[in-house]
Structure 1
Amino acid sequence: MELTTICLTALIIGFLLIGNSPIQMPREAWGYTLATVFFAVIGGASFFGQIIHTALPALRQTHDTPEDYFEHIAKVLYHGRVKFSAPDHHFNREFGICCDQEGHCISCLDLQDEEYGEIQAFSRMLHNRMNSLERNKTTAEQARMLEDAPNHPLRPGVPRPAEYFKILQSRRELPVSAMRQEFLDVYHKSKRYLKVVVLMGETGSGKTTQVPQFVWYDEYASGKIVACTQPRRLAATSVASRVADEMGVTLGEEVGYSVRFDDKFRSDISRTHTRLQYMTDGLLLQEALKDANFSEYACIIIDEAHERTKATDILMALLKVAVQKQDGLKVVIMSAIMDADKFAQYFGVGQPFNVPGRPHPVDVYYLEKATSDWMVSALHTAKHITDNMPPGDILLFVPTIDNVVECCKRLNEKLANRLHALPLYAALSRSKQTKALSQSTTGTRRCIVATNVAETSLTIDGIVYVIDTGIEMHSSYNPRGDMETLESAEISKASARQRAGRAGRAGRTRPGVCFRMYTKEAFDEDFAPEQPPGILSSSMIQEVLQLMSMGIRNVAGFDFIDPPDTEVYLRALYELNAMGYIDDHAKITPVGKMGAQIPVHPVWYNAIVEGQKLGCGVEMVALAALGSTQDPVLLHPPRVAVARVAHSRFTCSNSDHITNLHALHAYVRTKIQDNMDMAQWCFDAFIDQRVMEEVLQIREQLKAKVQSMLDAPLTSASFDDEFELKIRKALARGLYTNSAIEKGEDVYMTVHDAVPAVVPMTSALFKQGYPWVVFDKVACYGNRIFIENATAVDPEWLASVVQDLPFFQDGMLSVKRDEARTIRQSYVKESLDAARARLRSSAN
C-alpha cells in the first residue's frame, strides 16, 4: 500500500512538472519522463507494466502526449533498460507489444482503431532504427532487437507473419546464432587489405541461412547488395525461400535469388532493393565479365567453398584481387570441412572462424562384405528400414538421374502404401523439388532418392535415415585429346561425412542412422580424403577466354588456389587461337571479346555469325541452346528400337544437330496448341520435357544477347530445300576445330589429335559412313570413346570457310615423332588437298 502511495505521488509530481520545466523539451515531456523512470525504479518491472498500462493513456488524453515520446519509451523497453513481466502473456496495448514472462516481445495483438496510430509510430521508430544502423558497427543486440520487434522494421505498420516468431525461436537454437557477436567482431576487424573472413561451419551449424542475415544487418547502411553464392541452382532457390520466411518478407523483395534463367524479383522494385541475394557461383562469374571489381556488392559470401567447383575457384581468385581494389567490398568464405585452413592460408587471414555443428549423434553402419550391386543392397536396406525401424524419412544417395528414376520406380512398386519414394536432383521441376523438400503430411514414410545435390545446403524435413551408396559420377579431362571422361567412382571421405550428417536432423530425441553400402575397409583404404577441385578436372577454354576479356593477359600465372596443369592452359590457348579469338601473341581479338560475352561455349559464336550471313541465325541460336544442355531426345536402351520409330519424324540422317532442331520445332508447335497434354506428348515422342523447357529459356536469353551484340535482328531460314544445307554449312564454320574423318566401321579419327572415336548407336549418323563430320565433343564413357552430336560436312566447306586461318594447313596437322615429322594421318591431307583442288577448279 505504501508503495502504491509513493508511485501515485510520483505521478502527481509528474503532472505538476508538466509545463514548468526550465529546460524546454518537446511538448513538455519532462513530467512524463520523470514519472516513467520513477515507476521503473520504485515499482519494479512488473509494477511498471501495470502502471504504464493505465497511466500513459491518461497522460496522453490529458496533455496530448507527443508521438516521439512514446517512441522514446519503446526504445527504452527494447534496449532492455526497462522490462516488464506479464505472467499471463498480457501485453502493453500502448505499443501492441506482447511479452513473455521474461519481458521479451513475442507477437503483436490485433489493435483497436484508436490504438493504430500508436503502433504506426512505433513501427516508424523501428524503421528509423534500421536507417540509423552504422555500417560495420552493428552489434548482435541491435540486430536481435529489430528481429524481436512485432512489426517489420522495413514496413512501418505491418505486423510480422504469424509463423515468424516460431521460426525465430528455431533460428536462435542454431549454433551459429550463439556466436553472432563473435562473428561480427571478426567481420569488423578486417582491414583494408585483409577484408576476408574464412568461416568453417560443421553440418547443421546454420551458416548458410544465418551468416548472410548477420551480414545483411551489418551492411544495410551501405545501400549495396549482400550476395551468397551456391554451387547449385536448387540450393540457391530453396535457401533463398527459407531465408525470406525467416526474415518475414516476401521472396523477391528484400531477399531474392538469381540462377540461370530464373530471377526472383518484383518487377516494380529495382534490383538494388533486394539487398540479400542468393545466386549460383556461375551467375556471379558471368556478372564479373562486366564488373570484375564487384562494385554493386557490399559483401560476397562464397558458401560451400569446399565443393571447389570451377566457378567457385575462379571467383575466389577474382575476389582476392577485387578486395584490394574495391573500397568497401568484403568477402566471407564458408566451408563445411577442414579445407577452411587452406582457404585461410590462400587469403592470408590466419585461423578460420570455427562454428560447431548441432550435437546430434549419428550411428553409422557398414556392409560386412563388399557388394557387386549397390542398387540391390540400397533397395533392400530401404525395405529393412520400412519394415523394422521406428518412424522417420529416408534419404538415399545415388550417382545419376537415371538411377534416381529407377530406384523410385522400384520402391514405389514393391513398398506401395508403406513407403513413398520421391526424386530429388538439380534439373527436377520446381514443384517436384518443393514436394521432396517439404515434410509429409500424410504420415506415410518417405524415401527421398537424390543425387549429390542433397549433400549440402538443402534442408530436407523429416530425414532420420541415410542410405549412402558411396558412388557418384566423376569427370576428368585429358587436354592432349581435348577429351572428357565420365565414370562412376567412389565419393570422398569428406562427402561421406556430409551425407551422414543429413541423418537425424528431423529431431533430437534419438540418433540418426546412416547405412553405408560399402565396407569399413573400403572407406579407409579406397576413399580419397577429398574430391579434386573442378578446375583440375575439366577444360578451361571458355574460362580462359572470359579471364582474358577481363584484361587478365597472363592467365597461366593467375593466382588460383590450385592452378590447372600447364597443358590445360596450352590446350585452351591452342583452341582459342584456332577459333580466331586470340592472336599468335595470345592477345584477345575483337571477335574473341564478342565470343566471351555469350552465355554458352564460345565455339558457338562463330557458328551464329556464319548462320546470320547464310540466313539461319535464329536456327543457329537454337542449336547453341540445344548444345548447352543435356540431349532432349531420349534414346536409352533397352527401348532404342521403339524410340527410333517415334523419332523418325524428327530424324535428319546426316545431322544430329538438325534432328534435335526438328524435335524442338515439333515441341514448340505442339505446345502452342490448345488443350494439349504436353507430358503425354513428350512421353509418346521420347522427348525430355524438362530439357526442352530449359532449351527454350537459353534460346530466348541468347537470342536477345546476340541481337544486342550484332545490333540487328537475327535472320531465319525458310523451310525449303536449302534449309538443312545452310545449317550444316554454318555448323562447319563454327565447329571446324571439332572435326573428324572416317576410318571405317563407324570409327572416326579426330583431325588434329588422331583420337579414334565411334558414332554411338543413338546417333542419326550411325552406320551412315559420311567421310567428314563436325561434332560437339569427344567423351569417354567406360572404356569406349564416342563422338557426341555429329553433323556430316563436305571438306570443301572446311577448306573454304577457314581459309584465313591455319587450322587445316599442313603445318597444323598431327605429325609422327620421326625425323621427317611425317603427317600422322596422310589421308587427312589427301582429302583436304583434293577439296582445295575442286575449289580451284570450280573457281576457274
Structure 2
Amino acid sequence: MDEETTEEIMYMTVLGCELAKPNPLRPGVNRSPSYFETLKQCCHLPIMQKEGFYRFLQLYNDSQVVVVDPESSADSIQLTKRVMYLELFKDLQVLCTQPDNVATRELGQRVAAELDVTYGEQVGVQYRKYNKTSDKTRLRFVTEGMLLQLIGDNPTMAGYSCLVLDFYEPTSNVDRLLPLLKKAIGLRCDIQVVILSTKYFEKFALYFDVPHGLTIGGTSFPVGVQHVTKVVADYCETACHTVNQIHQNESPGDILVFLATDIHVDRVVAKLRGAIPDMETFPLYGKLSKAEKAKALRSGDKSRCVITTNFAESSITVEGIVYVVGFNSIGTFNFLDPAKEEVYLRGIKDVNAMNLIDEVGIITPAGKVAATLPIDLTWYNAFNEAIKLGCLSELIDIAALASVKNPIFLRPHKTQHAADSPHGQFTAPLSDHMTELNTLHAYLRTKRNMSTQELATWCNETFLSSEALEEALVLQEDLIEWCKARLGVSEISVLTPDDKDYDVKIRKAITKGFFLHAAIRDDSDQPDQYRTLKEGSHVWIHPNSALGGGDWEWVVYHKIEPTGFQYMDRCTVIEPMWLLENDYFYPLPLTKDYGGKFWLKPLRAIIDAIDSSVPHRIGG
C-alpha cells in the first residue's frame, strides 16, 4: 500500500466518522440535527478543507511529532476532533492540553456539545481533583500541570495513542514537559504528538527536530496590517487613540485590543468609556466573573470594543472581530530560548539558599522532597516552619490561596470601589496572606450555614469568586495529602483563635519560606516604596494591598507583578530578626552602593543587631 493510498484511506475514515448519521462515539444512537448544523458552520475552516487536512495527514503519517501553526483556535478545535477520529479504532484515548482550568473545562464542554456526546463520558476533563471522565472517554482535556502529573506517573503515556498539545506559548510547565515528552516518544514508537502553536511554531519544530511543520491555511478573511511609525511613550494612550481613529474613520466593526496586564486593560476601558459613548467597551481577562466575561463576548446593537490580555488568545475565542490592535513583545517571556548565565546562577544561588541543593549543585534530601510539591517549592520551608510553630493548617490554606490562577477578590471595573467595602471586613492589617486566610474561613463558615443559592448571593454581595475559593479548597486537600505523605505528619496542626501569638506564628512561617523576597522601606518620600533586600531594586506595595499607607519597615512578598510599576503581590509585615534565623544571612549578603557602603541606614541597624545578639555566627 503506497503512502498516498494510506492517506486517502485516513481522510475517508475521518470524513465517514464526521458525516455518518449514527454517532461513532455512541453506538446505537443517531446524531441530532444540531450536530450537522454545527459541522456545516465549520466547513469554511482551512483544516476542514481536503487540501489543508491532507497536508496534515502526510506529516502525521511520516513522523511521530507534527508541529502545526493553526490559523485560529477554531482550527485547533476541529483538528483535535479529527485526530480523535483518526485514533478512534485503536481503543486508546487522545489527550489534549489547555493552559488553565477555565480553558480546559470550557473547551471540554464545548467539544462534547459539538460532538453530540455527554460531557464527562465520551469527552472528559481532568485537572487537579476535578475529574469528569469515565471508562467511555475517548478524548480527554487536561491542563499542562495535570499532564505533568500524568506523565510523571506514566512515563510512556500508556493508554493514550496521541497527545495534542495546545501550547499557546512556552511556560514553566511546558519547559518541564518538553524533555519528558521526548523521553516518552523514545520509549514508544506508536505514540503520536501534535503540537499546536502560532507564536513559537518554529521553535517547537526545532526542539523536536521536525524538518517540516504545517501552517494551516492562509487567512479566512483578508487581513491588512498597519504599524505605528514612531516609538510610543505610553502604549495605553496609543491604544485609546488608535481605537478612536478606527471608530471614527473606518467601516463599522468590532475591535479587539491586546494589552499586557489586567491593570492596563482597566485603565484603557475607563478612558474609552468616557471618550466614545456610542461604542460599548468591555474588559476581558481571567480574573473577571463569568457574567463579566459573557458581556464581552456578546455582540449588541452598538459597535463593540473588547480590551483583553493574552487570555483572548490562549483561553477563549472572541467572535465577530473586524479590527485588532496589539503590541509586539509586551509581557512575553520565551522559555524555549536558553536563559542567560546570570539567570541560571541566580536561580542556583536561590535554591542553594533554601538548602534544596548543596554547594556543588547536588540536590539535597530536602530538595528531593520539595521537588514533589504540587506548588512553588518556596512553600517547602514555610511548611516545615509551620509544623514547628503549630500552624500547618493555616499555611496550607494560605499557600493554596496564593497558588490558584485567579484571585478570590472580584473588583469589577464599574464597581471597584463598591467592592472594597465588603472586602474590608476580611482585612488583616499586617498581612495580605492572612487577609485571604480570613476570607477563606468566612467562606467556609457561610458555606456550612447557607444553602447553595444563599452562598452564591453572599459571594455576589461580598464580591468574592466562589470558583477561585473552591479551586483553593481542592488544592488544599492535595497539600494536606502531600504533607502527610512527604513531611511525615499524621495530624495537621491548627492554631486556636485565642492564641496570643496567632498572627506572629503565621507571619514567621511565611518569612521562613519567603526570606529571599524580603524588602525594606525606602528612604525616599514616595509612599509605599521599598527596596528588595537581595538586589536593592525599587518595588511598591500594590494599591489593593491591606498594607498600603502603613509605613511598615520590613515586609516579605509572594512575587513581583510585572506591570509599569514593580508591585509586590501579597505582602506580609515581618520583624528583621526573623530573617536572621536563616543561615543565608551569615555573612550578611546585602547590596552595597558603588562606594562599598550599604544603601540604606536601616541596614546598619541590622548589622548592629547581629553583632549584639548572635556574634558567634558572624562570618560563617
User: What is the TM-score with the length of structure 2 in the denominator?
Assistant: 0.80
* Equivalent position to 1:322, from 158, 177, 184: 184
Distance in 2 of aligned mates of 1:362 and 1:836: 68
1:349 is matched with 210
1:579 is matched with 354
* Equivalent position to 1:562, from 337, 341, 356: 337
2:470 matches 1:728: no
Superposition RMSD in Å? 4.3
* Equivalent position to 1:465, from 316, 322, 342: 322
Pairing 1:772-811 to 2, within 5 Å after superposition: 772-778=554-560, 781-782=563-564, 785-800=566-581, 802=582, 806-810=583-587
* Equivalent position to 1:297, from 160, 164, 168: 160
Distance in 2 of aligned mates of 1:723 and 1:697: 25
Pairing 1:280-291 to 2, within 5 Å after superposition: 280-291=143-154
Q: Secondary structure at the match of 2:87?
A: helix
Deviation at 1:208, TM superposition (A): 0.6
Query: Contact conserved, 1:310 with 1:534, CA < 8 A, in 2?
Result: no
Distance in 2 of aligned mates of 1:823 and 1:365: 50
Distance in 2 of aligned mates of 1:302 and 1:427: 24
2:40 matches 1:169: yes
The one-letter code sitting in structure 1 at the alignment partner of 2:559 is K
Structure 1, 692-701 or 164-173: larger mean CA deviation: 692-701
Identity %: 32
Distance in 2 of aligned mates of 1:811 and 1:458: 48
1:309 is matched with 171
Q: Secondary structure at the match of 2:190?
A: coil
1:657 is matched with 433
Deviation at 1:622, TM superposition (A): 1.4
Deviation at 1:464, TM superposition (A): 4.4
2:308 is matched with 450
Change (3 A) 1:635 1:220: closer
Distance in 1 of aligned mates of 2:569 and 2:72: 39
Deviation at 1:632, TM superposition (A): 4.6
Change (3 A) 1:232 1:765: closer
Gaps of 5+ in 2: 1-5
Query: Contact conserved, 1:226 with 1:300, CA < 8 A, in 2?
Result: yes
The one-letter code sitting in structure 2 at the alignment partner of 1:356 is G
2:3 is matched with none
Deviation at 1:396, TM superposition (A): 4.4
Change (3 A) 1:715 1:174: same
The one-letter code sitting in structure 1 at the alignment partner of 2:435 is T
Distance in 2 of aligned mates of 1:785 and 1:408: 22
Distance in 2 of aligned mates of 1:181 and 1:623: 51
2:402 is matched with 627
The one-letter code sitting in structure 2 at the alignment partner of 1:301 is V
1:589 is matched with 364
Query: Contact conserved, 1:640 with 1:762, CA < 8 A, in 2?
Result: no
Q: Secondary structure at the match of 1:257?
A: strand
Query: Contact conserved, 1:199 with 1:354, CA < 8 A, in 2?
Result: yes
Query: Contact conserved, 2:95 with 2:141, CA < 8 A, in 1?
Result: yes
Distance in 1 of aligned mates of 2:416 and 2:29: 59
Distance in 2 of aligned mates of 1:137 and 1:581: 55
Greater C-alpha radius of gyration: 1
Q: Secondary structure at the match of 2:57?
A: helix
1:607 is matched with 382
Change (3 A) 1:638 1:345: closer
Query: Contact conserved, 1:795 with 1:835, CA < 8 A, in 2?
Result: no
Change (3 A) 1:830 1:775: farther
Query: Contact conserved, 2:289 with 2:465, CA < 8 A, in 1?
Result: no
The one-letter code sitting in structure 2 at the alignment partner of 1:789 is R
2:87 is matched with 219
Change (3 A) 1:788 1:434: closer
Q: Deviations over 1:711-742 (max 9, x none)?
A: 63322111012321221222232222323455
1:188 is matched with 61
Deviation at 1:603, TM superposition (A): 0.9
Distance in 1 of aligned mates of 2:415 and 2:78: 48
Distance in 1 of aligned mates of 2:572 and 2:314: 40
2:311 matches 1:425: no
Q: Deviations over 1:661-710 (max 9, x none)?
A: 22332344345443786677667767566654544444344334434444
Deviation at 1:231, TM superposition (A): 3.4
Query: Contact conserved, 1:395 with 1:450, CA < 8 A, in 2?
Result: yes
Q: Secondary structure at the match of 2:403?
A: coil
Change (3 A) 1:693 1:400: farther
Query: Contact conserved, 1:631 with 1:691, CA < 8 A, in 2?
Result: yes
Distance in 2 of aligned mates of 1:409 and 1:799: 45
Distance in 2 of aligned mates of 1:637 and 1:358: 34
Deviation at 1:159, TM superposition (A): 1.1
Q: Deviations over 1:77-111 (max 9, x none)?
A: xxxxxxxxxxxxxxxxxxxxxxxxxxxxxxxxxxx
2:204 matches 1:340: no
Deviation at 1:160, TM superposition (A): 0.9
Deviation at 1:572, TM superposition (A): 1.7
Distance in 1 of aligned mates of 2:114 and 2:417: 52
Pairing 1:145-544 to 2, within 5 Å after superposition: 145-177=16-48, 178-179=50-51, 180-190=53-63, 195-203=64-72, 207-259=75-127, 262-265=130-133, 269-270=134-135, 273-305=136-168, 307-336=169-198, 339-363=200-224, 373-374=237-238, 376-377=240-241, 380=244, 384=248, 389=251, 393-402=254-263, 404=265, 422-430=282-290, 433=293, 436-437=296-297, 446-455=304-313, 458-461=316-319, 463-468=320-325, 470=326, 490-492=327-329, 533-535=333-335
Q: Deviations over 1:713-772 (max 9, x none)?
A: 322111012321221222232222323455656665544434454545654445655554
Query: Contact conserved, 2:17 with 2:85, CA < 8 A, in 1?
Result: no
Q: Secondary structure at the match of 2:607?
A: helix
Query: Contact conserved, 1:749 with 1:757, CA < 8 A, in 2?
Result: yes
Q: Secondary structure at the match of 1:719?
A: coil
* Equivalent position to 2:391, from 610, 616, 628: 616
1:122 is matched with none
* Equivalent position to 2:15, from 144, 161, 176: 144
Change (3 A) 1:342 1:663: closer
Query: Contact conserved, 1:203 with 1:358, CA < 8 A, in 2?
Result: no
Q: Secondary structure at the match of 1:152?
A: coil
Query: Contact conserved, 2:400 with 2:476, CA < 8 A, in 1?
Result: yes
1:556 is matched with none
Change (3 A) 1:598 1:158: same
Change (3 A) 1:434 1:139: farther
Query: Contact conserved, 1:751 with 1:828, CA < 8 A, in 2?
Result: no
The one-letter code sitting in structure 2 at the alignment partner of 1:322 is A
Distance in 2 of aligned mates of 1:574 and 1:690: 37
The one-letter code sitting in structure 1 at the alignment partner of 2:140 is Q
Deviation at 1:781, TM superposition (A): 4.6
Q: Deviations over 1:353-375 (max 9, x none)?
A: 34213542235567799896246
Q: Deviations over 1:430-476 (max 9, x none)?
A: 46546655x65x76765544333223674434x042242x3xxxxxx
Distance in 2 of aligned mates of 1:358 and 1:642: 44
Gaps of 5+ in 1: 1-134, 471-489, 493-527, 536-560, 840-844
Q: Secondary structure at the match of 1:300?
A: strand
Deviation at 1:250, TM superposition (A): 1.9
Query: Contact conserved, 1:232 with 1:280, CA < 8 A, in 2?
Result: yes
2:579 matches 1:706: no
Deviation at 1:346, TM superposition (A): 2.9
Query: Contact conserved, 1:741 with 1:773, CA < 8 A, in 2?
Result: yes
The one-letter code sitting in structure 1 at the alignment partner of 2:221 is H
Change (3 A) 1:426 1:774: closer
Change (3 A) 1:628 1:577: same
Q: Deviations over 1:574-594 (max 9, x none)?
A: 111211222223222332233
Query: Contact conserved, 1:393 with 1:446, CA < 8 A, in 2?
Result: yes
Distance in 2 of aligned mates of 1:744 and 1:285: 45
Query: Contact conserved, 2:17 with 2:24, CA < 8 A, in 1?
Result: yes
